[in-house]
Each structure stands twice: as structure tokens, then as C-alpha cells.
Structure 1
Amino acid sequence: MESNNQKINLENRNISLYIKREDLLHPQISGNKFRKLKYNLAQAKRENKQTILTFGGAFSNHILAVAAAGKEQGFKTIGIIRGEELRDKISENPTLRKAKDSGMVFEFFTREMYREKNNLKILEELGNKWGDFYVIPEGGTNELAVKGCEEILTTTDEKFDYICCAVGTGGTISGLINCSKNGQQVLGFPALKGDFLREDICRFASKSNWDLITDYHFGGYAKVTEELILFINEFYQKHKIPLDPIYTGKMMFGIMDLINKNYFPKDSKILVIHTGGLQGITGMNTILKQKKQLQINVYD
């Protein structure tokens, strides 16, 4: 078993459960973001681009990863941020503050304008303002990102019956589907409400051996409950693996719940992909503290 596949001990269960620690790939460019950016940055260099422009929310893992990767590889980076409320309060947001420290500059769009971010006219206006740039979409998902995610699984992972991952924009699960082997089932756990992701995944995925488990979004994107936070804290205390509240925490809660409900057949071998995103914990704890609610504690 590869060293980055960490075993989870399940008491009294005839199931083998491992977590692939993609969160340990890089200190700033975490997990699936490292995979998604690999070939996009290589393409930007081939096109002789000096600047990367991308989109995201104020707590976006993707925004911070692009900023860190840009600093590391010599690109200027521009972040188009959803919402104007933090325009003059960057220092109050841990994600944007770190991205700024890595050299990213920001433009804040109203939510109405952000919804039109892929409009050619808006991209043309951004080009007039910022000059020539290479565009990476929100969340980082495109064909090159999927190509990078196809490298997550290795030959030593062929023994697993189920491959599980959290789903945001669908790029990571698409890559996993494409590189999965016959007999393997890929299960995605969406962090958002709704079943619209299936169409997006079908644009990139070449097989049908997958499904979405849509029962564990905890109210929708960036929504949490005390039950979820208790689970994340207890999981860390027991296994010393930190989970984030937006993606991996909800996925892992779902997997453990399905195991308890005997969803997986006896002797199943399950591999869970830890896609990172731990930087978001600081921002979530700030919000929870303001609401005087239980906070996430995944650090010794």
C-alpha cells in the first residue's frame, strides 16, 4: 500500500477503508488543486502568458491555490472575487489575505455581475484593464484539470472496489472516473444541493461506473451543522486526519454513515480521496465564533 494511503481502523466491520492523503501533496497548493493546476500552468507557459486570471468566492481554496502556484512558478495572478463586501476588508479574510501575500491582486464583482463572468464582453473588458492573461475557470475545472486528476490513482489503487471523493465543480471525480479500472465504482459526494452536476461530469467523464450520493450536503454549499462539526472533531481525535467542513468532512460523514447502514457489501475495499481544502477551516471558525457555535478543532 502506498505511504500516502492511510488506513482507517473500523471496529467490527468486514470492510477495508483507506484515505489517500492528497492534502499532503504541497503545503499551499492543496490536494486536487495541485492536480488541476499542473497542466493548466504548463499550458500557460507554452502560450507565453505572464498572468493567470481566475474566479472564486472569498474563502475559495482555488483562489489561494492559484495565488500560491503563481508565486512559485513566476506568474502574476488576478482573482475575480464574488461579492463586493470585502473590497476594503481583505485583511479580515484569511484566504484573501494569504492570497494577497502571494502576490494576487483582486477585482470584486457584484454577485449579479459575477453570474455573467463567462460573458465574452466581460472577459474583453478584463483584458482591456489587465492586459493579456490565461484564464482558469472557477474551481479550476477544464479538460487540462481533468487530465491532472487522472493521475491521482496509481497501479497500487487497482485493488479497491470503491473510489470516493467530494464533488464541487466535477473535475476531480471526472478524472477519477477516467482512470478507474473495470470493476471499480466511483462515488461522488456533492457539497452543493441539487443534481445538476451530473451533466457537468458527463462532459468530461468517459465511463458510466459512477454515481453521486446527494444526501450529505448538510443544507448546501458552505452550510454546516453542529453534528458535522462534532464528527470532524471526533474523527481527528480518533484518526489524526484533519477534514474540512465544506468538502471532505461532509464526504467522510456520508461514507461512515453508509458503512453503518451496510451500503457497502461485505469485504469491500474503499479508497477515499482527501482533496485538501483545510485552509478554509480558519474562515469557518471565524464565522462559528461570531455565532457562538462549536468550532472545528483539528490541530494538536
Structure 2
Amino acid sequence: MDNNQFVLPESPVQEIQHPLLEQKKIKLAIKRDDLLHPAISGNKWRKLKYNLINMKSKGYDSFVTFGGAFSNHLYASAMACKTFNLTGHAIIRGPDIDENNPTIKMARACGMNLYAVNRKTYRLRHDPAYLKSLQTEFPNSFIIPEGGTNKAALSGVAELAKSLPQSDYVICATGSGGTVAGLAKGCAHSTQVMGIAVLKQADYLNQEIAQLLTDKHSGAPWQLLTDHHYGGYGKFTEDVWTFCQLMRQTYQLPLEPIYTGKMLFAVWQLISQDYFPQGSSIMTIHTGGLQGLDGLRYRGLITR
């Protein structure tokens, strides 16, 4: 694996024009990281990049990671196996594996090894004793946390931050906190980084993000908004899905309603409520995950 494989041209920035934005005197743009890599989309590429580089530099010949059966991280990790000819092992929150699930089918096609565990075992995914047992079960395997979020991930997301034009606000969807932490690490101190939590009762993420950044953090100030989950993780309202479809039709901007669609809908509501001062420039981050639409269709949560 050559490190040059990890050097990609930057994804484009798309500006959004709308009468609401003109009325509120707000500049809104979206960083199209869904277009960053042909197979490993958005923040999952950013997070995996330095994990894979570390894996290679430390002499590991495979990796072990964790995810739900429909997770974007599972999809991205499987694609990394296929793209870079790696051996990957995924611990799946089970207790069973549905072989007809489109994410599972794709992971199998990429040659990833899948192991279903019950939810009690899956909850041990951060436990040092459990991780040590996995290291024994999968010798010479590099362990990548659920969602890819760790210190190495921050370096990849910080590269994203440094690629952005100067903005007053940089906003992303937040599941595990790694993208917020990486943006805060890489953005200028004059920028306010905001995370829109996509799960219920997400206040604990404030501590997780702070731990990732450590006390030496000298980058951008950050905050987490926790009242825009629209039902919780993996859930969404009809309003969110209608908004996603409208953005696709009007701006050729594909969205899914679990992460980026939910985030951008929340930003739209905040703009309409005058949350941001007039004259503000807002950069939102498209973190990819569009393959999740196949999973939503499979589960009958959307029909188009």
C-alpha cells in the first residue's frame, strides 16, 4: 500500500442560492465531500485515511472494526478492503446477520469477514479487556473504533478543515463526535464549529469531543446542538425527507435523512429563526453516506 494512494484532489464547494438566504443576508455553501472518493465517501474517508496509514506503518496486515449492519462505517471499511487489497474483520451488532441487507451484501462482495455478536457483547467495544481478547483472536490486526473515530481520524478531518474557505460557521452532522473534533482542530479560531447531533440524549458527546481534542486544544471554538435529532438515530420526520428531496430536485444536491439531510434541514430552520447574525457565512459539510438510502429503501422507510 503506497501512501500516494491516499492523496486525493479536494472535493468541490457548492453555493446555495435561495430567497430565504437573501432575506436573512446569509451566505450558505456545502462542502461536497460525498464526491471526495469514488468508493469511500465523505468523512469516512477522512477518518480512515490516517488509520490505514498507521496500520501500514506499524506493520499490521489486517484490521478489526465495529459497526451496525447498515452503518456507513461498515460500508466504507469494506470498500477500503476492496480498494487497497486489505484483510478486514468487522464485529457486527447482531445477534444475526441478514444476508439480504444491501450493506452486508456489499461488504461480503468486498471480501470483508463479518462476525455477528449479541448486543451485550457489542456494548463491550470500548472495553480494554474485550479489545485485548480481540487482539488475541485476530493477531497482527489493527483495531479501528466504531465510526473510525480516534486521534488518527482527527488528522484527516483537520485536512478537510484547512481546505475550506474562511467562514463564520462550519457545521456538520454528529454521530460519534470525531468530525466535530477534527474540524475544531483544523479551523481558524475565528470560525465557530457546530455539530448537529443526529441521536437523542447526545449531551455525553460534549465530553467525548473534549477528550479527543485534549486540554491543549487551540483551534476553533465548537459547540454541539442536541435538539435537532428528529426522532433519534436512524429516524427522521417526513419534513426532513421532503427537504432532502427538494434539495435534490432544486440544487442537484443528493442527501440522506440520517446525517447530512438532517443537519442541513436543522441549519435551514435555524436560519429562518434568525439564529445566525445577518451577514454570516456558513459552510456545511456533506459527510457522504448516500449508500444509506439503499438501506432505508430495503427497510421500507422510504419508497423513492
TM-score where L is the length of structure 2:
0.90
For the pair 1:182 / 2:220, whether they are aligned, the reply is no
Which AA in structure 2 matches 1:29? I
For the pair 1:29 / 2:29, whether they are aligned, the reply is no
- After superposition, give the CA deviation of every residue in 1:211-242 in whole Å (9 maximum; x if it has no partner): 11212101110012222111111111111111
Q: Report if the CA contact (8 A) 2:11-2:32 is conserved.
A: no
Shift of residue 37 of structure 1?
Answer: 0.8
Shift of residue 100 of structure 1?
Answer: 1.2
Q: Report if the CA contact (8 A) 1:193-1:219 is conserved.
A: yes
Shift of residue 85 of structure 1?
Answer: 2.8
For the pair 1:39 / 2:50, whether they are aligned, the reply is yes
- After superposition, give the CA deviation of every residue in 1:177-236 in whole Å (9 maximum; x if it has no partner): 111112211111011112110000101232561111212101110012222111111111
Counterpart CA distance in 1 for 2:125 and 2:36 is: 31
Give 1:121-270 correspondences, 5 Å limit: 121-154=129-162, 157-158=165-166, 160-194=167-201, 195-205=203-213, 206=217, 207=219, 209-270=221-282
Which AA in structure 1 matches 2:111? G
For the pair 1:75 / 2:75, whether they are aligned, the reply is no
Which AA in structure 2 matches 1:225? T
Shift of residue 282 of structure 1?
Answer: 0.7
Shift of residue 57 of structure 1?
Answer: 0.2
Distance 1:120 1:185, change over 3 A: closer
Residue segments in structure 1 that go unaligned for 5+ positions in a row = none
Counterpart CA distance in 2 for 1:181 and 1:120 is: 35
Among all aligned residue pairs of Structure 1 and Structure 2, give the percentage whose two residues are the same amino acid: 43
CA RMSD of aligned residues (A): 1.6
Q: Report if the CA contact (8 A) 1:52-1:70 is conserved.
A: no
Q: 1:100 aligns with which of 100, 108, 125?
A: 108
Q: 1:65 aligns with which of 76, 88, 95?
A: 76
Which AA in structure 2 matches 1:98? M
TM-score where L is the length of structure 1:
0.91
Question: Which 4+ residue blocks in structure 1 deviate beyond 4 angstroms?
Answer: none
Counterpart CA distance in 2 for 1:127 and 1:47 is: 15
Counterpart CA distance in 1 for 2:165 and 2:172 is: 14
Q: 1:118 aligns with which of 111, 126, 130?
A: 126
117-126 or 160-169, which deviates more: 117-126
14-23 or 64-73, which deviates more: 64-73
